[in-house]
């Protein structure tokens, strides 16, 4: 699962704390049964992107809500399918 994060005004005011925030997010994700696999700083519409792999969509939603409720980031979550999953999905088309 891919989570694109934008930094709203509150987060922009404390942008120097971002690396520590990412560490706390990684800890939160681990507590919820996942790991923060990758995190990148971006140029463009979004400020960062994280890659994770929660066991289900409900857990992913809870994790993102837990992160965004702190007010430092806003989120857009995109579910990604692996190449193998894509083949299975397409093979199952009527």
pLDDT digits (tens, 9 = 90+) for 25-56: 899 888 888 888 988 988 888 888 888 888 88
CA gap 67, 7 in Å, rounded: 12
Closest CA to 21 of 2, 1, 41: 41
Domain of residue 33: give its range.
Answer: 2-91
Q: What is the CATH number of the domain that holds 30?
A: 3.30.70
Q: How confident is the model at residue 7 (pLDDT cuts 50, 70, 90)?
A: low
25 within 8 A of 64, measured Cβ to Cβ:
no
CA gap 83, 61 in Å, rounded: 23
CA gap 66, 33 in Å, rounded: 14
Reduced to 3 states (helix: H, G, I; strand: E, B; else coil), residue 48 is: strand
pTM: 0.66
Q: What percent of the chain has pLDDT over 70?
A: 85
pLDDT higher at 13 or 48: 48
Q: pLDDT value at position 20?
A: 87
How many domains are contained in the chain? 1
């Amino acid at each position: 699962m891919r989570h694109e994060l934008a930094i709203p005004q509150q987060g922009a005011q404390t942008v120097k704390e971002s690396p520590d925030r990412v560490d706390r997010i990684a800890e939160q994700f681990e507590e919820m049964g996942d790991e923060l696999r990758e995190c990148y700083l971006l140029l463009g519409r979004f400020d960062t992107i994280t890659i994770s792999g929660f066991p289900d969509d409900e857990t992913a939603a809870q994790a993102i809500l837990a992160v965004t409720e702190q007010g430092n980031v806003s989120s857009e979550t995109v579910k990604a399918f692996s190449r193998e999953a894509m083949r299975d999905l397409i093979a199952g088309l009527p």
